[in-house]
Amino acid sequence: MPRTDLREVLAKSDNFIPTNVDRPREAVHPNDLILAIEAKLKRAGGVVHLVVPPNSTGVSSQHPNPSLIKAIARSREWYERVLEEKSWNQKSLSLYAGVTRRYIDKVFPCAFLAPDIVEAILEGRQPRDLTFKKLCSEIPSSWSEQRQRFGFASAR
């Protein structure tokens, strides 16, 4: 769809341009198209995220979090190494992975997350406030307690 056609559709639709919002700066060029949406920036895990309210239309609610995915992948790899007797303790895991023992202690319990939590994180369906720090701090052994603590719905 050409920009001029899109501009016309958006200009004529009350659904796309709310009247109670301050208008953005005026377009400099006739073909410029400026879209405004309520959003805020939030820093989480060393990354800045654009947070859009859940009632916004046309925006996917699935946002995979790389730090959560990395923690799960590492913990699963380390767990497999322990099962295969390639690593025997935190020291051998930390030497293998090139990380500190403290990091191993923090991340290793992610290998025991409930399967539905892992699936949701991999698909980007985790709660917006679930950070690496929150996930890796004292993970409960009970799957139902994990769901409650991290803000997931009960398993079906």
Contact 60, 50 (CB under 8 A): no
Reply yes or no on whether the pLDDT at 31 is more than 80.
no
Question: For 91-118, what is each residue's pLDDT tens digit?
Answer: 999 999 999 999 999 999 999 999 999 9
Distance of CA 14 to the CA centre of its chain: 31
- Residue 44 has what pLDDT? 73
Between CA 47 and CA 66 the distance in angstroms is 10
- Residue 18 has what pLDDT? 46
Reply yes or no on whether the pLDDT at 14 is more than 60.
no
Average pLDDT, the chain: 80
Tokens 């679930």 found at? 130
- Residue 41 has what pLDDT? 79
- How many CB atoms within 10 Å of residue 108? 20
Identify which has the larger pLDDT, 61 or 7: 7
Q: What are phi and psi of 53, to 5 degrees?
A: -55, 150
